[in-house]
Amino acid sequence: MFKKILIANRGEIACRVIKTARKMGIQTVAVYSEADKDALHVKLADEAVYIGPAASKESYLVMDKIIAACKETGAEAVHPGYGFLSENEEFSRRIEEEGIKFIGPKHYSIARMGDKIESKKLAAEARVNTIPGHNEAISGPDEAVEIAKKIGYPVMIKASAGGGGKGLRVAYNDKEAHEGFASCVNEARNSFGDDRVFIEKFVVEPRHIEIQVLGDSHGNYVYLNERECSIQRRHQKVIEEAPSPFLDAATRKAMGEQAVALARAVKYESAGTVEFVVGADKRFYFLEMNTRLQVEHPVTEYITGLDLVEQMIRVAAGEKLTLTQADVKINGWAMECRINAEDPFRGFLPSTGRLTWFTPPTASEQVRVDTGVFEGGEISMFYDSMIAKLIVHGKDRADAIHKMRAALNSFVIRGISSNIPFQAALMQHPRFQSGNFNTGFIAEEYPNGFDASMVPHDDPALLISVAAFVHRCFQDRTAKVSGQLPGHERQVGDEWVVIRKGERYPVIARPIEGGYTVEYNGKTYKVLSNWRLGQSLFNGSCNGEPFTLQVERHRMTYQLFHWGARADMMVMSARAAELLAMMPEKAPPDLSRFLISPMPGLLREIAVEVGMEVKQGEKLVVIEAMKMENILRAEHDCKVKKITAKVGDSLAVDEVIIEFE
């Protein structure tokens, strides 16, 4: 077994590999860029080597620097994680040529499966079901449109070296095919250094289901059941679960056997994933093979009891698999939510900055948090938006959903925006709970985007009661201030008015042992909690039912976070509420004459010129942030008066880019 391994990655996955290596008694070496000098994976590793500037193409993607770090530290093997160089054939080959073990498949397996065009041909030869399409590299957008017409819309335009949703677009007409081709080429070139693109038929109402496989150097192969990955936004997975609520035993077995046949055909040695698109009729087609560890591997670990990172290390060290297909079971139900640094209420735009508060749920046998960040750390614009993975394990799917909802309630993130409200809304959505969904679920259920009204909360009395509880806590403390004139001490009353969204809710809040009783709308709510002023997490019970929510005080407003919903409430006397209603409201400034950057990022393209007439929906600029291109379009017909930024500028949030007449 290896004594020391180097992790050629960063963030969550680097920390994940370090955890298993430490359990196995293996020393670890981290590599880091300028932006990551204070990162968690650097702190956790036994050694750390600086490899260059923040941009990944100057650090994490530079093979020579990784190899030099191995030689400098004496690392015997390299774990590539996912992303970056993890599916790079040349990197795997060069590592092996240097006498260092690559903790992943051999370079020839990566070459055959990493190229999406060649992998489809090989899959067909191995008798794996494949989707109709044009499997040769396409020369330009016009050819892409012609090919799309022949195949028939909708089509999927995809980078040959793509992965993780990068370099992928679905086109429903000629215009989308033309634009989609250009975006795919640019994203593929920037992310993978390979701009080849191909096109295939897009299966209507598809489900994205993948099979985890394991192979060793002795010819042994097993499949570790499936993962359901159909809940996606912009082709990026949002929620993953294992097993799938859709598959039956016969389909699972057929998919698993085809996945193993493909792995055997390329002499695959390591953990890998064969992705399938599955139609409503349960017919399945090969999509691609990911020759690396998947982001969502923890759900498979939960239901099988295996440590996939450990399996990868043991296979790389030449050991045989110790399990057979008959040993693979399904124990309960696992679910994973990707917690991303993005604002769901602003079109899921990237959110960067400092984590002023980061308190994940308490880890247990049923709750796991994989992360590469810490409170006070920085979320950088240079890397992807995922800051943590929240994974739960239940006895069945309903239990897993219940545990996930509770865990999301207690996940505290401040300083940046996160997609936790969106995840909480998905957990409560009847269609998600039923298991009747496909990859179009988010687009179909949220066609006009996501806003606060889409986060259901069916217990407003709980929020009102807690707001009254918290306010009484503050008032009772102020009543105890020293130095009050004897006989004129402050008296705290029991009658209050809770105000939310202009609505007034009269309540009576009285102290009792361990909490308060709150009378609201003719009912009494007994709220018990040991919550203290300043704490973000509020754990308690309401009429005997336990709950967890988050609370913050901002001057006169209490912000409550529960089930993904945020409730802004004020609590005051009836007279103060009456006077507040008479106060005039200040109208917000009119910013419709400006195009303002909604995120920090790099200005890649300006599609207009001064004096140009622009129609609603036309492209104005392209901003790159967190490895994704974001197109900003005109919200209405306008004329360009002034362009205040230039291509290549690093934009700040709310920075003016264009002024209109």
- Residues annotated as catalytic (active site), given as ranges: 288
Does the CA dihedral 98-99-105-106 come out positive or negative?
positive
Q: Where are the alpha helices (DSSP H) in 287-439?
A: 297-304, 308-316, 397-409, 420-428, 430-434
CB atoms closer than 10 angstroms to residue 504: 15
Distance CA 621, CA 645 (A): 10
Distance CA 287, CA 278 (A): 10
Distance CA 497, CA 6 (A): 60
In this structure, what token pair is assigned to residue 51?
């490899």
Distance CA 9, CA 84 (A): 7
Q: Which helix (H) or strand (E) holds 516?
A: strand 515-520
Q: Which whole-number Å values give the CA distances from 585 to 282, 554, 592, in the listed order? A: 56, 19, 20
Closest residue by Cα to residue 315 from 224, 220, 226: 220
Closest residue by Cα to residue 594 from 629, 632, 647: 632
CB atoms closer than 10 angstroms to residue 535: 13
Q: What angle do CA 110, 114, 115 make, to 5 degrees?
A: 130
Number of H helices, E strands in the chain: 17, 39
Contact at 8 Å (CB) between 28 and 58?
A: no
Distance CA 292, CA 273 (A): 7
* Residue carrying the six token digits 């799309």: 148
Contact at 8 Å (CB) between 325 and 259?
A: no
Contact at 8 Å (CB) between 170 and 156?
A: yes
